[in-house]
Structure 1
Amino acid sequence: MKRTNYLVPIVVSCFLATGCVSKKQFAELQTSYRQLQTENSDLSKSYQQAQVTLAENRANIKSLEERLAEAQQNNADLKASYASLQGSLDKSIQQGNINISKLVDEINASNRFIKQLVEAKDKSDSLNMVLTNNLTRSLTKDELQEVDIKVLKGVVYISLADNMLYKSGSYEINERAGETLSKIAKIITDYKDYDVLVEGNTDTDPISRPNIRNNWDLSTLRASSVVQELQNKYGVDPQRLTAAGRGEYNPIADNTTALGKQRNRRTQIIITPKLDQFMDLIDQAPEATDSTAASIPEAPLPME
């Protein structure tokens, strides 16, 4: 482009110097010259604009390269974070699987223990029903009028009226009590896995005897008389027997009436499964670890 600027004046000068140029040709040359100057000016502007554009493009390219490098670095960081998270996740899953396996084992152990308790309770309930049925069938209609038999929460209660057991105002066993006690003793002997508590109860009327201080004494002496009768006369193992007196403090009826007092004057023979059998089961209960104890719900035992 600069060569064109120099060339046109030189050519014009040569034509002028030789004198071979006509006016018409000279005018044409001038016109061409002006056109070339215009084109040269346009080219210069285009060149400058191209330079500016090139500089901008180079700047954009540099910016894009920096952004690309930053994106690549971010991508590398994300890959590293993903790998770290994946490793932690794999470790957590593995640890979780171990914990779940332990939890399942403990739940299964607890379920087995609960099943043992339920089976023991069901067995006890079944034996109680058989015991009660056998005893009820062995008593006469007259005896059943003075003997009350109940099963409450796995315990058999045999309630005997005082007038069928003792002489009036005394703790000595009367003659008519023998037949009933013999039948009860046979049931007790047949069911060796049960303990027997004999419990004396009185009404609120005070006792006035030289050798009996109060109703506590009377109730306890009556229970002791029944225990010794079962042991000495009917051969019940004394290790299974317990005598207790509750005096007037465990009434089942109103002591202001004659009928209520009669009901309160009673002796209960309480037949229960041996507690040591259930305590042995309790000792066998699986222990939960600290990590899983909070997550294992307590399974309620079925109760009557």
Structure 2
Amino acid sequence: MSTQTLSAPPSGTARTPSRRRGTALGLGAAVLYLSLIVLIPLAAVVWRSQERGIGHFFRAVTTPDAWAALTLTLGASAVVALINLVMGSIIAWVLVRDRFAGKTVVDTLIDLPFALPTIVAGLVLLTLYGPASPLGIDLAYSRAGVVLALLFVTLPFVVRTVQPVLLELDTEMEQAAASLGARSAQIFVRVILPNLVPAMLSGTALAFARSMAEIGSVVLISGNLPFQTQVASVHIFSQVETDNPVGAAAVSTVLLVVALATLVILDVLQRWGRRRG
């Protein structure tokens, strides 16, 4: 028995060093890749924005054209996020709970904004809702056109975050509530909605962050009119073209800070959702 004990160490003991080496190599590769692709470029942008001092940074982001672009971008992104919160949740509900002809096609089309080049989306929107619109709706060169373009590119976010939660939701709880006399509205508010809220808010935060960075679908339909329809991403591009990289970096840094704050809020919401689950 003593010989068997010496020759058969506890399971996994002999492989622990190799597992640690594998973990260290994987972690090192991940950190190196993220540093080269994300962290170092972002740090370079922030450093460039401070190149002429904090005073120049604030002057660059508060010039009339920069401030108008930032205000429009954040305002339109907030509107788009709220619309997505409502309509994305409704679309997810219909795709999961309802049956209708062409459901598979609709479900596939939800992901089209992910696959379609955004400049193509802008051209399509300009064709349908521009001066020569076959629908008789002209939203070109207006803030409504900017919101429309952002709604198109952010359509999947709330739908694809709420849909899996609805699929995994235990319908027995709803049946039990109904058997106790609860009405449909009560069941939705007290049973279904609390389980959906974390996913709804997460998708909304992603839609907001994505809206701030959009340029392709907006650049055509907005007309890029300074102080009116020029979004921050187009303003940054124009600053680079006019040989003002420091100003472009300053506005980029503002968007970066807002995006990071949004992601932190998203992480908090996800942790809250896991605790509730």
The TM-score, its normalising length taken from structure 2, stands at: 0.26
**Radius of gyration: which is bigger?**
1
Give 1 or 2: higher strand fraction: 1
Q: Which has the higher contact order (CA 8 A, sep 6+)?
A: 2
Structure-1-length-normalised TM-score: 0.24
